Amino acid sequence: MDLIPDTGRGTWLLARAGHRDDVGGIAGTGFAAYARILHPLTAVLEDRSIADEYGDHPTLDEVRWRWADVAIRTGSAVHPSVTWATASGRDDESDVPFPDGWRASPPEEGWFDPVVLAALTEHLARATSTPDDLVAGFWDGWSDLSGGSTLAFGWQGDDAPCAEERAEVRQFMAVRTAEHRRDQDAITSSLSVPRFAWPGRDLILSATDLPTLADPTWLEHTRLGPLVPLEHTPQMLWAEDHAWVMASEIDWDSTIIAGSRSLVDAVLADERFEAFEVAEESSPS
């Protein structure tokens, strides 16, 4: 994805920033309607009659679940403002095991499944006159985008290292540390464009289009700028005609679609999504 040095591409949206913790603060205010798409879950079926030395069980099956699949089992319900804590009955990020051998993992935050995004592009394309001209914003706080990756070294052996081994390890650490620092500096340099200062989140802007995002495997062959393999879906995505905004806030386990009444109605009617209409001032917390 080519970097966009002109943060003025987002000036229109900054003028519509709402309160930080609500839907309007995540995706912008003043749109006709908003939809919240719950991020899908990973569920695995375990054979709990067998356990390895670490207490882990063999996996018999792995599928995607909706939040409703968990809510049915916990006796709760999904609704526009549902939280994972209320749906799962847990207030932490641990997996949720069930007596029949299934175990559900919490939804990922700040990550919009590329398969779900690919399905969404069908509706986004019909709702914009600029499907080939999109702006994608990625939070610059991810360690792989900020040059903030760290190295750790350890000694593995039955005995403490001797003096010669210590010297070899120190030399190895010095070489690898220098290489790692050069790599991180290269990342920082390659992404040295002005940041889009969305409230609470500085974003690296890049150019993309809906045909690219319609391929669920797009991340496997995409770089952000000239150097950095991209491992994140956008925190913000908007069409150049300003018809809609998609927002996946890094601390939210759902994605917001802001746009026309017809766009939101189409998203809500599509059974591929677990989606609810939400108000601009609402917050799933």
Q: Which residue has the tokens 């609704």?
A: 79
Q: What is the pLDDT of residue 71?
A: 96
The residue with greater pLDDT, 97 or 173, is: 97
Q: Considering only CA atoms, which of 132, 144, 106 is closest in space to residue 251?
A: 106
pLDDT band at 190 (very low <50, low <70, confident <90, very high): confident
Residue 32 falls in which region: left (phi positive, over 0), alpha (psi -120 to 50) or beta: alpha
Residue 148 amino acid letter: G
- pLDDT, tens only, 50-82: 888 888 888 889 999 999 999 999 999 999 999
Q: What is the pTM of this model?
A: 0.87
Cβ atoms 184, 2 nearer than 8 A: no
Arithmetic mean of pLDDT, 106-135: 97
- pLDDT, tens only, 15-29: 999 888 899 999 999
Is 207's pLDDT higher than 90?
yes
d(CA 83, CA 79): 9
Other Cβ atoms within 10 Å of 78 Cβ, number:
18
Is 93's pLDDT higher than 70?
yes
Q: Which residue has the tokens 């030395």?
A: 53
Residue 69 falls in which region: left (phi positive, over 0), alpha (psi -120 to 50) or beta: alpha
